[in-house]
Amino acid sequence: MKLIHLYPREMNIYGDTGNVVVLARRLKWRGLPVEIAAVSVGDPLPHDADILLGGGGQDAAQGEIGADFAGRGAELRAMADDGLVMLTICGTYQMLGHEFITHEGRRIPGVGVLDIVTTGQAERLIGNNYVDTDDAGRLVGYENHSGLTDLGPGVRPLGSTQLGRGNNGRDQTEGAVRDNVIGTYLHGPVLAKSPQFADDLLRRALSRRGRDTDLEPLDDSLAEQAARVAAGRPR
């Protein structure tokens, strides 16, 4: 399986690179070979990948990669239409949408893969968070963002969260999904504390390759314990 790691230098806060490590490890533990392609500003996007991962970033980092990312819009939309699995966190999630207007009023254009818009505000949403999903149970992570995201009709929420958190603090939605493209505000890295979610992504990618094989169960007791502790901690 081939994983694309987008902008590993600029878009990697609160441990988001760990999502790449978790997927690679879960594949290796099951004897499945894995290759990781890091894609930085100016690098070509591989077209034979199975999963694309992108992490969070400060507004400044989002500005730094903004033009490069926007230039990949047509390619990323075609990949999404083709069923590529994408897991994008916070800053990259925002930029998969139509646009992100920062708290200072700067417009960072998105690529329109997800039907969402994000607007920065002075107060940040910060703290441990959990999200209840239909597809992968409870996801546990950490959020820290000024951007408030509103979902359009082209996406559904990834799950529901408590009031004051998630996409915008108002509607109790968290994240967004269309086809195999997923965005969420959960850092942490989220996959380290949400092993079912990690396997859901691997299953989506295998099934896209026509391989609906069962994934061998792993001992997730440590990840589950970490999730329980984090979900029980106050903000």
Q: Which residues of the chain form contacts with ligand GLN (CB under 6 A)?
A: 13, 56-59, 62, 90-91, 144-147
Return the number of the residue (10 or 50) whose C-beta is nearest ligand GLN: 10
* E strand intervals along 10-115: 35-39, 51-54, 85-89, 99-101, 107-109
List, in order, residues 6 or more apart from 139 with CB less than 8 Å away. Answer: 130, 131, 133, 158, 159, 184, 186, 190, 193, 194, 197
Return the number of the residue (149 or 180) whose C-beta is nearest ligand GLN: 149
Return the number of the residue (26 or 145) whose C-beta is nearest ligand GLN: 145
Return the number of the residue (145 or 203) whose C-beta is nearest ligand GLN: 145
Q: Which residue is nearest to ligand GLN (CB)?
A: 56
The residue type of 97 is G
Q: Which residues of 21-54 are buried (b: 16+ CB within 10 A; e: fewer)?
A: ebbbbbbeeeebebebbebeeeeeeeeebbbbbb
